[in-house]
Each structure stands twice: as C-alpha cells, then as structure tokens.
Structure 1
Amino acid sequence: MTKSPALNPRAHYAGWVAPLCWLAVALEGFDLVVLGVVLPALLKEPGWNLTPNSASVISVVGLVGVMIGAMATGTVCDLIGRRKAIIFTVVSFSVFTLLCAFAPNPLVFAVLRFLAGLGLGGVLPTALALVNEYARRGRGGKATTTLMTGYHVGAVTTALLGILIIERFGWHWMFIIGALPALILVPLILKYLPESTAFLEARAAGPATPGTASKTTPKTSKNPIGMLFHHGLARSTIAFWVTSFMGLLLVYGLNTWLPQIMREAGYELGAALALLLVLNVGAIAGLLVAGAVADRIGNRRSTVAWFSAAALFLALLSVKLPGIGVYISVLLAGMFVFSAQVLVFAYVAHVYPAAARGTALGATSGIGRLGAITGPLITGVLLTAGLAYPWGFYLFAVVAAIGAVSISLVNRNPAPDEALPVTEEEADEIARHAH
C-alpha cells in the first residue's frame, strides 16, 4: 500500500485501526444483544403490557433497522470515506441507545431501536472494509476473524452486566451503560483513526479515461452499487448474498432456539443451556482458527470447507449422543457455523475493489440480516409443530450445504483491486491461478 503523507496525513496512525475498529464492533455486539438480556424485565414493566409476541415485533423492527443500515452505510462509506462513516455510525447508535433508557412506552422504544439499528448495521461493513485495507497482504482472513471476536466479547459482556445490573438498578441502566463507552471511543477515533489509503487513492484516481483501461485494471465507476454487477462481479455478488443469507439464518436460528430444541430432544434444562454456552465457546475457537486457515489455503477453499463441515456436524446433532458426545458435537458445530459466516465477509473484502468494497460488505451483511430474521421464525414454526427435533437440525444442515454450494459459485477470476498495486511476483501468481 502506498503511504503518502500528502495523500493520507494520518497514515502513521495505522496501528490504531485494528483496536479502534475492534472496540466499535464490541459496542455493536453489546447493543445487538442487550434487547434479549432486558426482555424478561421489559415484559414485567408496569403499563407497557408487553407480550412475547409484541416483544418479538420490537426485536424484528430493530433487525430491520440493522439490515437497512448495513446496506445504506456500506455505500456511504464508499462515497465519503470509512473514517467519517464509522464516526457517524458509532455516534448514531450510541445516542439512540441512550434514549432507549428513557422510552415512555413500547412504541417509542421500538422506534428508537429501529433508529439505533440503522447505526448498528453500518458499523460492521465499515470496520471490515477499513481493517482489511490496512491488513498486511495475505492476512485479510485473520484480520477479519480477529475483528469479529469483538462482537462476541461485547455479547458476553452484555450478559454478565445484565446479571449484575438489572435486578439491582433496573433495565434502563443497561442502555445507559451501553452508550457511555462512546464518550471515550469517539474522541479516540477523531484523533487517531486514519482514513483508508486505498479509498483515498481510488478517489484521487477518479473515473478511468475511456480507452485507457488495461486488462488488469477495471474501469472505475462513480457508482459503487453498479460496480457490484460489472467487471465479471455479478455472479459473485449474488453468490455472496445467498451465502450470507444462509450463514446468518444458521447463526440466529441456533442462538435463539438451540436450548429449546435440545429440551425437546430430552435433555434437562441445565444441560440445554450449557450446550448454548458450548456453542458460543466453539464460535470463539472457530474464529481464532478460521482466519489463519483462510490466509494459508485461500478464502474460497476455506469458506467452502467451513460450510461443508458445518452441514456435517449439524446433521450429526440429530443423533442423540450419550455423555460428552453431544457437547463435542455442539462445540464442533459452533466452531464451523459462526466462523463460516465471518469467512464470507473476509472473502468479500478480498474480491471487490476499494471503490466498492464498503458497498459490497454492506449489501452482503444487509441481505444476510434477512436470514437472521428468517432463521428464528422458521425454527419457531418447527417447534410449534413439534418437529424441531430432529428435523430442525436436518434443515440447518441443508442450509449449510446450500451455503457451501453458493460460495463455490463465486467468480474465480474477479476484477483486481486497482487501489492496491501488486508486485510483479504477485501478478505472476495471480496469472497462474487464473489459468
């Protein structure tokens, strides 16, 4: 990457990119999980008259906001820059999260969750684009999976704080605490977070002159959305969207209903809840391994392998294993299911040029949120019909298999990134793989 002080005066702060983006994603993890933590208290809130069904509507409204935010902010960060976009999203979701603490009724609360979701949805694609553009060449997979550990740390922190805070001080304080870190994070971002040099170079280059585009450099478009469907990327874009839908369907379907499915399988409540914990421990372990594997064998092969392994171990969960066997199966399922989706983001960041990378990540994340909504709904229907065990796991296995097939359809020879120049040796390597 070209490091021109004139082009990017904050380039010497490159070491701040990963930790600041990690903290932003951790706050996102906190805010996206906090609703589930406070729901039992909200159902008892005097005068609100919430039922499980109306509470589910609030949850869906928030996820719709996240979906819209992801799709819109991805394009915005390709137009105004990653730095401005991440400042806006962190400030936005923190303000509306704080206001949730003072909502007088469920309607206002739902509107505020939707508005907070708009900012929350934009954090991940923006942070992913920035981290990948500052990652060392060939280390994008590890940079992506390391960033996503922030989400799980934020989620675990939310659960622990809920145990300590809600009964003593009330649910309102969870939203206040969730907003306060922005008072420290935003000033740090303003001072230390640099803009992406790749973005600045792409913007400085402007649209290519007609007739001057080479075989290795696609013509730059001012419309990042249009770029998703040009330069041989249309098939890849659709494939990524389908895979992300399947990946987040698995993540949210399992995290929402796994304990209840295992209860139907005959496991005691304590064991069923322990299996949910094991699932998420597997997720963290998978993230630590998946990035290194992707950097070693490539994004394509690792993502296909991860979805295929997820299908295998999800199908295995349909068999009631004795003793520690079920815990091992759930651990392995968690290792592959959660990190498979993260590998999709790493692959997206590798395929698209800098001028459209944020848009590509935002669209992939946004379409995936439809899966996040669909997963719990479909599993809930199976539970109501008494079919969740074992058919729920068969369904999850098929979904993972579809993810493996769809990611394999990504174009093997995408348009290279004109904003990240390659050496002659790297160009030779690209050519060998292309043929």
Structure 2
Amino acid sequence: MSTTESSSGTGARRGRVVPLCWTAILLDGFDLVVLGSVLPVLLAGHVWGLTPASGALISTLGLVGMTIGAMVIGTVTERIGRRRAVIFSVITFSLFTLLCAFAPSVMIFGLLRLLAGIGLGGCLPMSITLTAEHYAGTRRANSATTVIMTGYHVGAMATALLGILFIDSLGWRSLFVFGALPALVLVPLMLRYLPDSPTAVTADDAKPSIRAAVATLFSRGLLWPTIAFWVTSFMGLILVYGLNTWLPEIMRQAGYPLGAALGLLLTLNFGGVAGLLVAGFVADRVGIGRSTIGWFVGGALFLALLSVRIPAVGLYVAVFLAGAFVFSAQVLVYAYVTRAYPDKARATGLGWTAGVGRVGAICGPLIGGALLTAGIAYPWGFYVFAAVAGLAAIAVAAVGNAQPAPATNAIREKSQAL
C-alpha cells in the first residue's frame, strides 16, 4: 500500500472518530443531567414519597456509579481496547437509563441510576482517550478533545429543551426514553464505523496486565504528575458541578429574579461551549500545560468578579467568560493527561483522574448547599469557587515536566502503516 493510500485511509478512520465520540458524549451529557430535569416533577407529585433528601441520595448514587465506571472501565480497557470500552459504556448507560422509565420504586430507581452511572463514567474518558490517540502527533491533538466535549453541553441543553416540550404532555418518564433511544442508531454505527485506537494490539500476551497499567501511574517519574492530575480534576469538578447546581439559587440570594438566574445558568453553559472551541485551538499553539494553567487562572478571576454587583450586560458577559474558562479548563486537564502517560496506561490514567474528579463532583453541590444554608453564598460562594480555581491552577502547575508519551511517534507511524 502506498503512503498516500495509507494516509488517506488513516484520515478517513480518524474522521469518523470525532462525530461518533461527540454523539456518545452528547448522550452522556443528556443522561447525566436528566435527573435534575425530572426531580422537581417527582418532588411536586410526591412520586414514591420522594423527598429532597432521597432525591439527593439518588443523585449521589449516580455520581458514585460514575466514579466506579471511570476507574474500572478505564483500567479494563487496557485489555479489551478503547473501541469496545466506548461501545460497552454507551450500551450500559442507555439500557439502564431506559429502564429508569419503568422503575416501580425509589429503591429500584436509585439502583438503576447507579448502574447507568457506571456506563456514564466510562464513556467520557474512553471517548477522549480514543480521540486523543487517533489525533496524537497532529496539529489538532488538543482541539479534537475539546471539540468532542462540546457534545456534553449540547446534550445538557437538549435535556432542558425536551423537558420543557414534553414533561407536561408525556410525563417525566418520557425523558428517560428519549435519552436511551438514540443508542439504537449510534451503537450499530459504532460497531460498523468506529475504529479502534492506533495503539491497539491483537496478541493477548502483548497487552498490559491491569496490575501493570495501574502500577505505571505510580511509577518513577509519574507518581507526582498522577497526584497533581487527581487534585486538579477534583478541584475542577467541584467548580463544574457546584456552579451548575447552585448558580441560579446563589443569584437569587443576591437579589436577581428567578428568570434572570436561570438565564445566567444557560449563559454559563453557552460560555462553556465557546470556551471549549477556543481552548483547544490555543492549547495546540502554546502548549497544553500553559493553557490549562491559564484557563484556571482566568476562571478564578471571572468567578471573583461575579461577587461584585455590576450592570446586567456586564454580568452576563462575566458569567459567559466564567463558563468559558471553568468548563474548558477541566477538559484541558483530560487532554493533558492523555499526553502524559504511555500507551499501556493512558486510558487507566485518564479513567482514574476522572474517577477521583467525581468525588469533587459530589463535594461541589455540598459546598454550595452549605454556603446557602449559612446565608453567605453571595458573595462568599464566588470567593470560595475562585479559590478552588486558583488551587487547581497551582496543582496543574505541579505536574511539572511530564512529557507527552514517547509512544506518540509510534502511534503516528503505526496508524500510517494500517
């Protein structure tokens, strides 16, 4: 096969990865926030005798499942391959999300959210790993990762839109059906068109053991970066989940009407999409490490600015920019992780980084809730979140001289030979 034909074939396979992984993450984003869309209806209708406390428990169970899924699937994929891990994750969260529509009790509903969380937890890091490995060594190595993550915000906004259109007419169960049905199309497309990673090997004895993959994270030269990535991801997801959960209520406490507060939440997520597109472009040109630090610093500055009462236009601009920096900073962390670990531990490193980060996802809403209960969420909530962003910048700076995996060139050479 000629070099031109090989390059053409590689480009064609690579071109299928982004849309398929983007769609998977869109469904991930949809299913991840669907609970928040239906909880008010469940509480108002006293479905299963649900209370705010049991609703919070169900939400936490989903996050626990995501922690398990990110770590377990991220580790097992070193043996089964990235492609199989992504497809398994999509099937898992789609199946259990569909079953949520038929849950007969709060206990079964919570269990199904836990199991769906396992698939959700594996989908995102494995989609990022697969995409990163296909684009390793190209000028789009970082932007490809940030582009597919825009699917998360599109999925989140789609959930809100479908909730507005159909909850009253079709009931809350319909949202879980809507969240699962696209998998009937996506999974066959993935089975047919989604290529495995260029790092994949066929001989079982050539694949790293799970124990070896985990041990690599703590090996000489990688122990400190591993800890730094974990701390950064923990801080980053405190921000993402804390702001998405409590921004409207914090702004209400500041004296803004509910409509304006919800509009600010939408603005925050629009900023997230814009920030992802810009962040990848910048990281490809100035470096992933400096970009990640700069994005967390930017997030800290604009979060602190929100503690000051400013005119309406300025407020929306500040919220937009806060979303642009905060949400994309966390994705840059994921992109950075894929550059720091060798082939045999890349998915494990990202899975564990995302898994530890999910603990931050649990803590973020708790911190915001505690500040609201104490009556100091405005302005102190923004000071706290700004401090968290600052700590994340310090933590990612501590990664130091973690270099892109030396197998990057091997990935490119192997993909050209396929």
TM over 0.5: yes
Write the letter of the residue equivalent to 1:266.
G
- What's the counterpart of residue 158 of structure 2? 157
Write the letter of the residue equivalent to 2:189.
L
The answer on 1:294 being equivalent to 2:295 is no
Write the letter of the residue equivalent to 1:329.
A
Using a 3 Å threshold, how does the CA distance of structure 1 residues 222 and 417 change in structure 2: closer, same or farther? farther
- What's the counterpart of residue 116 of structure 1? 116
1: distance between equivalents of 2:318 and 2:129?
Answer: 33
Using a 3 Å threshold, how does the CA distance of structure 1 residues 329 and 14 change in structure 2: closer, same or farther? closer
- What's the counterpart of residue 431 of structure 1? none
The answer on 1:41 being equivalent to 2:41 is yes
- What's the counterpart of residue 26 of structure 2? 26
Q: 1:225 aligns with which of 191, 214, 225?
A: 214
2: distance between equivalents of 1:13 and 1:139?
Answer: 15
Contact 1:43 1:51 in 2 (8 A): yes
- What's the counterpart of residue 191 of structure 2? 190
Structure-to-structure mapping, 1:258-297, within 5 angstroms: 258-297=247-286
2: distance between equivalents of 1:23 and 1:422?
Answer: 25
Write the letter of the residue equivalent to 1:321.
I
Write the letter of the residue equivalent to 1:57.
L
Q: 2:227 aligns with which of 208, 221, 238?
A: 238
Q: Secondary structure at the match of 1:223?
A: helix
Q: 2:323 aligns with which of 320, 334, 338?
A: 334
Contact 2:133 2:411 in 1 (8 A): no
Write the letter of the residue equivalent to 2:50.
L
2: distance between equivalents of 1:314 and 1:240?
Answer: 22
The answer on 1:177 being equivalent to 2:166 is no
The answer on 1:315 being equivalent to 2:304 is yes
The answer on 1:371 being equivalent to 2:372 is no
2: distance between equivalents of 1:419 and 1:291?
Answer: 18
Contact 2:78 2:207 in 1 (8 A): no
Q: 1:417 aligns with which of 378, 397, 406?
A: 406
Q: Secondary structure at the match of 1:346?
A: helix
1: distance between equivalents of 2:287 and 2:203?
Answer: 25
1: distance between equivalents of 2:47 and 2:37?
Answer: 20
Using a 3 Å threshold, how does the CA distance of structure 1 residues 201 and 300 change in structure 2: closer, same or farther? farther
- What's the counterpart of residue 144 of structure 1? 145
Q: Secondary structure at the match of 1:198?
A: coil
- What's the counterpart of residue 96 of structure 1? 96
Contact 1:282 1:333 in 2 (8 A): yes
2: distance between equivalents of 1:416 and 1:254?
Answer: 34
CA shift at 1:164, angstroms?
1.2
Using a 3 Å threshold, how does the CA distance of structure 1 residues 46 and 374 change in structure 2: closer, same or farther? closer
Write the letter of the residue equivalent to 1:98.
L
2: distance between equivalents of 1:186 and 1:329?
Answer: 39
2: distance between equivalents of 1:239 and 1:363?
Answer: 12
Q: Which 10-residue stretch deviates more, 240-249 or 265-274?
A: 265-274
Contact 1:314 1:397 in 2 (8 A): yes
Q: Where in structure 1 do 4 or more consecutive aligned residues deviate above 2 Å?
A: 9-15, 44-47, 199-207, 413-423
Q: Figure out how many residues of one structure are paired with residues of the other and give that number.
A: 407
* Post-superposition CA distance 1:244-285 (Å, at most 9, x none): 000010011111111111111121222211111111111111
Q: Secondary structure at the match of 2:232?
A: helix
Q: Secondary structure at the match of 2:49?
A: coil
TM-score, length basis structure 1: 0.89
1: distance between equivalents of 2:179 and 2:348?
Answer: 27
Q: Which 10-residue stretch deviates more, 44-53 or 246-255?
A: 44-53
Write the letter of the residue equivalent to 1:39.
L
TM-score, length basis structure 2: 0.92
* Post-superposition CA distance 1:314-351 (Å, at most 9, x none): 11111111231211111111110111101000100111
Cα-Cα RMSD: 2.3
Write the letter of the residue equivalent to 2:370.
V
Q: Which 10-residue stretch deviates more, 137-146 or 298-307?
A: 137-146
Using a 3 Å threshold, how does the CA distance of structure 1 residues 335 and 198 change in structure 2: closer, same or farther? same
Using a 3 Å threshold, how does the CA distance of structure 1 residues 182 and 331 change in structure 2: closer, same or farther? same
Contact 1:10 1:193 in 2 (8 A): no
Using a 3 Å threshold, how does the CA distance of structure 1 residues 34 and 251 change in structure 2: closer, same or farther? same
Using a 3 Å threshold, how does the CA distance of structure 1 residues 413 and 65 change in structure 2: closer, same or farther? closer
CA shift at 1:418, angstroms?
2.7
Q: Secondary structure at the match of 1:200?
A: coil
CA shift at 1:199, angstroms?
2.9
- What's the counterpart of residue 54 of structure 1? 54
Q: Secondary structure at the match of 1:318?
A: coil
Using a 3 Å threshold, how does the CA distance of structure 1 residues 419 and 142 change in structure 2: closer, same or farther? closer
Contact 1:202 1:354 in 2 (8 A): no
* Post-superposition CA distance 1:39-95 (Å, at most 9, x none): 122124465111111111111111110111111111111111011111111111111
Using a 3 Å threshold, how does the CA distance of structure 1 residues 153 and 221 change in structure 2: closer, same or farther? closer
CA shift at 1:15, angstroms?
2.2
CA shift at 1:421, angstroms?
2.7
CA shift at 1:237, angstroms?
0.4
The answer on 1:405 being equivalent to 2:394 is yes
Q: Which 10-residue stretch deviates more, 57-66 or 314-323?
A: 314-323
CA shift at 1:200, angstroms?
2.4
1: distance between equivalents of 2:204 and 2:256?
Answer: 57
- What's the counterpart of residue 416 of structure 2? none
Contact 2:339 2:404 in 1 (8 A): no
1: distance between equivalents of 2:19 and 2:98?
Answer: 24
Write the letter of the residue equivalent to 1:239.
A
